[in-house]
Amino acid sequence: MKLLPTFTVFLLGAISHRGAEPSVAVTAVNEFGIELHERFASSHPNLCLSPLSIETALAMTYAGADGSTRDEMAKVLRYPVDDKDGKTLNESFQKLNDSLVALCKASEARAAAEAARSGMKLDSVLILTANRIFGQRGYKFQAPFLATLKDLYHSPLEELDFASNPEIARRRVNGWVEEQTKKRIANLIPRNGITSKTRLALASALYFKAPWDFEFFSLATTPRPFFVMGKSVMQVETMTAKCTVRVSREDGFMAVGIPYAGADLQMVILLPSQPDGLAEVNKKLTAALLAKCAVMPEQEVILRLPKFKMASLSMPLGTELQAMGMKSAFDKPPGSANFAGMAPPRRGDYLGLSEIYHKTFIVVDERGAEAAAATTPGAMSLGGPPEPIVPLPPLEIRVDRPFIFAIQHAPSGACLFLGR
The proportion of the chain whose per-residue pLDDT surpasses 70, expressed as a percent, equals 91
- CATH superfamily for 218-306+383-419 is Alpha-1-antitrypsin, domain 1 (2.30.39.10)
Which pLDDT band holds residue 78 (cuts at 50, 70, 90)?
very high
Which of 66-70, 75-79, 120-124 has the least mean pLDDT? Answer: 120-124
Q: Among 127, 131, 185, 216, which residue's Cα sits nearest to residue 407?
A: 127
Asked if residue 46 has pLDDT above 50, the reply is yes
- Residues with Cβ within 8 Å of 323's Cβ and at least 6 positions away in sequence, in order, are 39
304-313 pLDDT tens trace: 999 999 888 8
8-24 pLDDT tens trace: 332 222 233 334 578 99
pLDDT score recorded for residue 50: 92
Q: What's the whole-model pTM score? A: 0.86
Checking DSSP bridges between strand 357-365 and strand 222-228, what pairing results, if any?
Answer: unpaired
User: How many CB atoms neighbour CB 114 within 10 A?
Assistant: 15
The better pLDDT of the pair 205, 71 is held by 71
390-418 pLDDT tens trace: 444 468 999 999 999 999 999 999 999 99
Handedness of CA 322, 328, 329, 334 (dihedral sign): positive
CATH number for the region 2-211+311-359 comes to 3.30.497.10
pLDDT score recorded for residue 394: 60
Ordered by start, the domain boundaries in the chain are 2-211+311-359, 218-306+383-419
Locate the DSSP E strands across 101-197: 126-136, 157-160
Asked if residue 345 has pLDDT above 90, the reply is no
Identical topology for domains 2-211+311-359 and 218-306+383-419:
no
The better pLDDT of the pair 298, 377 is held by 298
207-242 pLDDT tens trace: 889 999 998 999 999 999 999 988 899 999 999 999
